[in-house]
Copies of this chain bind each other. A is one copy, B any other.
Amino acid sequence: MRPSGRAANDLRTVRFTADFTRHAEGSVLAEFGDTRVLCTASVERRVPPWMRGQGSGWVTGEYGMLPRSTHTRSGREAARGKQSGRTQEIQRLIGRSLRAATDLEALGERTVTLDCDVLQADGGTRTAAISGAFVALSIAMKRLCATRELKRNPLHGQIAAVSVGIFDGTPVLDLDYAEDSSAETDMNVVMNEAGHFIEVQGTAEGHAFSRAEFATLLDLATDGVSTIMALQNAVLESV
């Protein structure tokens, strides 16, 4: 029995609110139950030094948690003077995932920065961030096409992510904090619209997982991502 009463293959309520803030080229509030992540896509007409003059663009991610997005307050990374290893890992994951759906040459010498800031955390912030960042990026690309700043849309695929894990001996979909903090195995899965894998990061906490458990987890993730993609498409049609 899951703490939330959900069935093993139930997602939490997932919601994408477009234009949550007004300055960014794309801005989305992504909610997975009580997890709320503000994702913005900012487009700048320059690329990192090592890419200059090649006509190609760049997509990168940044991630942060507001200090009291969590149950107990965690120190502000800006005040500590460095980003934690966990933050950097997630940032790299966001960037790689979104680049997998982007034709960087079609983007031209532009950088899109996907800022994913967690306003409230209840497990699964990184997969909510990736799923929301895809929507923010899509909105930004759509608008740059609409204003003819871009000739064609650099996005050639769809990206969504979800977490799966083994809780109390059972493989379950979309872990909330109560599950995540005591899960035996935790896996983040990023997929594309063809049902293929972009990233899989599985970690055994306490008990190693078997080949059979692995297969069940991937089944759950595949179904979850499919539902999330439908919700992404719905909000994208509305903007």
Contacts and interface: CB of A to CB of B under 8 A. Distances in A.
A200 to B, nearest CB: 4
Contacts of A5: none
Nearest to A209: B197
A84 to B, nearest CB: 8
Given A22-B34, A208-B196, A64 B78 contact: yes
A81 interface: yes
Interface string A168-204: 0000000000000000000100011011111111111
A21 interface: yes
B82 A120 contact: no
Contacts of A117: 66
A113 B73 contact: yes
Interface string A73-98: 10011110111011111011000100
A34 B38 CA distance: 17
A42 B67 contact: yes
A201 B190 CA distance: 12
Contacts of A23: 68-71, 120-121
A208 B158 CA distance: 12
A114 to B, nearest CB: 10
Contacts of A209: 196-197
B100 A208 contact: yes
A166 B192 CA distance: 18
Contacts of A89: 85, 88-89, 92
Interface string A197-219: 11111111000111100100010
B196 A199 contact: no
